[in-house]
Amino acid sequence: MSAESSPLFQITDLRVAPTAQPTAEILKGLSLTVDRGEVHALMGPNGSGKSTLASALMGSPEYATTSGTVRYKGEDITDWGADVRGKSGMFLAFQYPQEIAGVSVRQFLRQALSERKGIDLSVLEIRLAIMEWMDRLDMDPAFADRFLNEGFSGGEKKRNEILQMAILEPELAILDETDSGLDIDALRVVASGVNAVRADRPEIGVLVITHYQRLLDYLTPDFVHIIVDGQIVDSGGPDLAKRLEAEGFEAWR
């Protein structure tokens, strides 16, 4: 299959264990396909394997894939490192460093965008791109000159993440919302940011990983998947999100 006719992103029967404990499988045969233009929400209770999936998709050495494949535009990327994934158009929100002393949001974006595009962009070009997106995302322009993640609130971290996603123009974005202490402000930022980026580039595929049911009040995914004990136990449309809101994860345990 050519890159165009292959699904954008396809996880097939993925089994993942901690590298230090290869027999203690956490992901136990997880399959999931995200196509161009689709927004998928992967939701599950604590301990179901969401962060492990996020780390495995990032290429973290903490976890080992024991079987199964991850494909991006038809290519088997199971063994790719994080940097190659980023350059190829995958955006993994959590791959970016928590805090970099002395590096501003603007400097970081310029560096990341140069790497993504493989060209050096002028200071002016990057300034215009950042200004345009900060305006669209309703951000204070002063934010661009702050040091990356230094003293950022939960909502500001999310704004920064969404700004990165918008600027880097990925084909696939994976947002791990699991451990980020999401308040309502942050949830709205993520949801409206995803919607703004989609309005600009409808072909983007998005996978949002979360245990926070409330996200679904703000973001309407095309598909909802429920993960329990390392496997997807149910998939559906927005109806499934409604059922989840009414019944909680208990119904699937």
Ligand X SMILES: Nc1ncnc2c1ncn2[C@@H]1O[C@H](COP(=O)(O)OP(=O)(O)O)[C@@H](O)[C@H]1O
Query: What does the binding site for Mg ion look like in residue numbers (CB under 5 A)?
Result: 51, 178
- Which member of 10, 16, 44, 143 binds ligand X (CB under 6 A)? 44
Asked if 210 interacts with ligand X (CB under 6 A), we say no
26 binds, among Mg ion, ligand X, none (CB under 5 to 8 A by kind): ligand X
Binding span for ligand X by CB under 6 A among 19-27, 96-104, 112-120, 238-246: 19-27
Binding mask 96-135 toward ligand X (x if CB under 6 A, else -) reads: ----------------------------------------
Instruction: Tell the smallest beta-carbon distance from residue 24 to ligand X (Å).
Output: 6
21 binds, among ligand X, Mg ion, none (CB under 5 to 8 A by kind): ligand X
Of 18 and 154, which CB lies nearer to ligand X in the complex structure? 18
Binding span for ligand X by CB under 6 A among 50-58, 82-90, 161-169, 243-251: 50-58
Give the three-class secondary structure for 163: helix
- Which member of 52, 95, 160, 164 binds ligand X (CB under 6 A)? 52
Binding mask 152-181 toward ligand X (x if CB under 6 A, else -) reads: --------------------------x---
Q: Which residue reads 């080992």 in tokens? A: 64
Asked if 46 interacts with ligand X (CB under 6 A), we say yes
Cα(52)–Cα(57) distance, integer angstroms: 8
Query: What tokens were used for 246?
Result: 């009414």
* Contact status, residue 9 vs residue 92, Cβ threshold 8 Å: no
Edge-to-edge strand order for the sheet containing 9-18?
27-34, 9-18, 63-72, 75-76
Of 24 and 101, which CB lies nearer to Mg ion in the complex structure? 24
Cα(251)–Cα(253) distance, integer angstroms: 6
How do 9-18 and 75-76 pair as beta strands? unpaired
Helix, strand, coil percentages for the chain (3-state, nearest 5): 40, 25, 35
- Give, for 191, the enclosing helix (H) or strand (E): helix 184-200
52 binds, among Mg ion, ligand X, none (CB under 5 to 8 A by kind): ligand X
Query: What tokens were used for 231?
Result: 């496997």
- Which member of 40, 50, 106, 159 binds ligand X (CB under 6 A)? 50
Burial call 106-119: b when 16+ CB within 10 Å, e when fewer: bbbbbebbeebeee
- The residue type found at 171 is E
Which residues would be at the binding site for ligand X (CB under 6 A)? Answer: 18, 21, 24, 26, 44, 46-52, 62, 178
